[in-house]
Structure 1
């Protein structure tokens, strides 16, 4: 796999996935990308930096894709996401991915953020933390556990600040606040 990456094979597969008109060839390409990206975080990053993940997502979600292409695209996304620690490639999925894919994206953030202070800061400034607060997860679900793990990376007041409805709570406090008059 490393040989394929070093030989610039991944960008060629990415081009094939985007430009090939035949679904059966795209499906084979998605399978190949999954095989490469599932091995190590470095392999997953090599796949992710070619911007292939959004292409796979669109093929998975497209009603025009064959069933085989949809299945292989979904498997490729999951395989790559489960090893990908390159957060810039993951963040767009917070906004675009369906719930069955979103779970894997949030899971990866929950693995990386506890160990990377720069990533935590960027996650806040890029809007990622706010987006995670907006996700509706079932109590006790794996997705909720991932969200809790992410929230535990930040001071409570930061999490509250980015939670839906917090600005309304602050405005209510302003409305009911009695000024101190000397």
Structure 2
């Protein structure tokens, strides 16, 4: 039987992304889109055990849903703690010796899964507080490659980062259990 692309991952009445604010100001719009992308990641990972979350896409890729959670925690930390708040904090998973530690260390261990979600939630909470407390979206941080960067640019970039990786999550989830959809 062929899979229908129109099938939904969730029933619309159960989708937590359907009730967000509309027609907001710029900050509200950007934070809402970021919230929706984060929820999408959680939905795509929902109901899976450690083995499924750590399942790799295809050889030789180290891409997995768990790796995406770890990677996105690393991205939130880098952009908001390091570049926007100028905090001197270490990376979560990546090192000079293991630059892809976020993906390579995504193993089928319930403790690794628990740690990934805990750290992801800590980083998303920091981001949310930072954005809420910022005087405006023109607030500047520093990117070592591009120089000064505004909070607005970082938010748009992070939304793009989640959206791109949620596309990966769609394919990973379909490979795990055939679930497809929004």
Q: RCO greater where, 1 or 2, for CA within 8 Å and sep 6 or more? A: 2
Higher strand proportion (structure 1 or 2): 2
Higher helix proportion (structure 1 or 2): 1
TM more than 0.5: no
Instruction: Name the TM tier (shorter chain).
Output: under 0.3
